[in-house]
Amino acid sequence: MTKTAIITGANKGIGLAVAKNLISKNYQVILACRDISKGKMAQEFLGSNAKFLELDLSRPSSISQFVNQINSDYSEIDVLYNNAGLIYRDFELTEEGYESMLSVNYFGAYRLALMLLENLHRRSGRIVQVTSLSMYLARTFNLDGLHSMESFSPSNRYNLTNLLRSMFAIELENKLKKTSISVAAAHPGVTKSRKSRPYEVKKIKKSFYTYFSTNIKTGIAPIVRAIEDENITAELVYAPKILGVYGRPSLMKYNKLVYDQGLRGKLWSYTVNELNLDI
């Protein structure tokens, strides 16, 4: 039977490459993208098993509209791959007043996943959350003042959003234990995903990344495993085996902060409070 997967941010980079891979395995893929012309271009590039639907994860109204559209056109979704993200962005607030990396990388993924649970449940579906090696660089867990510019830096905030994405995967799995929905997390290492590196990154960093980043095939392999493996758990993260950068996918431990149940509980309450949305 053909499976249906939603991939957010599927118009380029890792999202587009995962979409291509799944389509080659006979999936129907919904390309959930914020930019209409880029979304349509990706749909054309991927062919008739791809369908573009507009989704801007920084806008709650866009997420609601997207979910309504999905529920009316696709009553049974097998996979949600939360891929979309902003990397090392300067401080900017969304219409809602949230810092943009936090809004897209974490709040948007949380909102979308929770709003699609009923649909995913019909097919014993799966939620795969992307995260990043940068989660290991997050040294502290502090949820104070996240929407203010004070003490904001693009790299610290990106690292934090990946810590939060990882904690979200485990906590979501725990909350869904009694349902048929499974949850997994994966990161691609450091992958040449074309323009995935932001213009803000300084020259030295750029060349550093260029030096050891891998091809897109290595990068998407852990994600595809997280989507397709039969027995999965979000307790470990799928990642390239060697140093989390090179080689075949393997299951690795997260940053140890991710395993702190108390912090995960705090994060969940904080998010429920901010978004007024719970399971």
Ligand X SMILES: NC(=O)c1ccc[n+]([C@@H]2O[C@H](COP(=O)([O-])OP(=O)(O)OC[C@H]3O[C@@H](n4cnc5c(N)ncnc54)[C@H](OP(=O)(O)O)[C@@H]3O)[C@@H](O)[C@H]2O)c1
Q: How far is the CB of 148 from ligand X (least distance, A)?
A: 20
DSSP the chain: ---EEEEETTTSHHHHHHHHHHHHTT-EEEEEES-HHHHHHHHHHH-TTEEEEE--TT-HHHHHHHHHHHHHH-S---EEEE-----SPPS-B-TTS-BHHIIIIIIIHHHHHHHTHHHHHHTT-EEEEE--GGGGG------TTTTSSTT--HHHHHHHHHHHHHHHHHHHHHHTTTSS-EEEEE---SB--SS-S-TTS-HHHHHHHHHHPBPHHHHHHHHHHHHH-SS--TTSEEEEEETTTEEEEEEE---GGGG-HHHHHHHHHHHHHHHT---
The yes or no reply on residue 193 touching ligand X (CB under 6 A) is yes
The yes or no reply on residue 166 touching ligand X (CB under 6 A) is no
58 in Cβ contact with 99 (< 8 Å): no
The yes or no reply on residue 190 touching ligand X (CB under 6 A) is yes
Q: Pattern 103-122, binding to ligand X, x per CB under 6 A? A: -x------------------
- Give the list of residues 6+ apart from residue 60 with CB closer than 8 angstroms, or none: 96, 111
Q: Which of 8, 119, 255, 271 binds ligand X (CB under 6 A)?
A: 8
Pick the closer one to ligand X by CB: 31 or 77: 31
Q: How far is the CB of 80 from ligand X (least distance, A)?
A: 13
Q: How far is the CB of 225 from ligand X (least distance, A)?
A: 15
Pick the closer one to ligand X by CB: 9 or 125: 9
Residue type, 49: N
Pick the closer one to ligand X by CB: 96 or 121: 96
141 in Cβ contact with 94 (< 8 Å): no
Q: Pattern 195-224, binding to ligand X, x per CB under 6 A? A: xx----------------------------
Pick the closer one to ligand X by CB: 4 or 191: 191
Size of the site for ligand X (CB under 6 A): 30
Q: Which of 130, 169, 170, 227 binds ligand X (CB under 6 A)?
A: 130
Handedness of CA 55, 59, 61, 63 (dihedral sign): positive
Q: Which of 21, 43, 83, 119 binds ligand X (CB under 6 A)?
A: 83
Q: Which of 11, 21, 119, 255 binds ligand X (CB under 6 A)?
A: 11
Q: How far is the CB of 262 from ligand X (least distance, A)?
A: 26
Pick the closer one to ligand X by CB: 16 or 181: 16
91 in Cβ contact with 252 (< 8 Å): no
Pick the closer one to ligand X by CB: 11 or 119: 11
Stretch that binds ligand X, among 78-86, 145-153, 167-175, 230-238 (CB under 6 A): 78-86
The yes or no reply on residue 127 touching ligand X (CB under 6 A) is no
User: What residue has token string 């300084």?
Assistant: 202
For ligand X, the binding residues (CB under 6 A) are 8-9, 11-15, 33-35, 38, 55-58, 83-87, 104, 130, 132, 187-188, 190-191, 193, 195-196
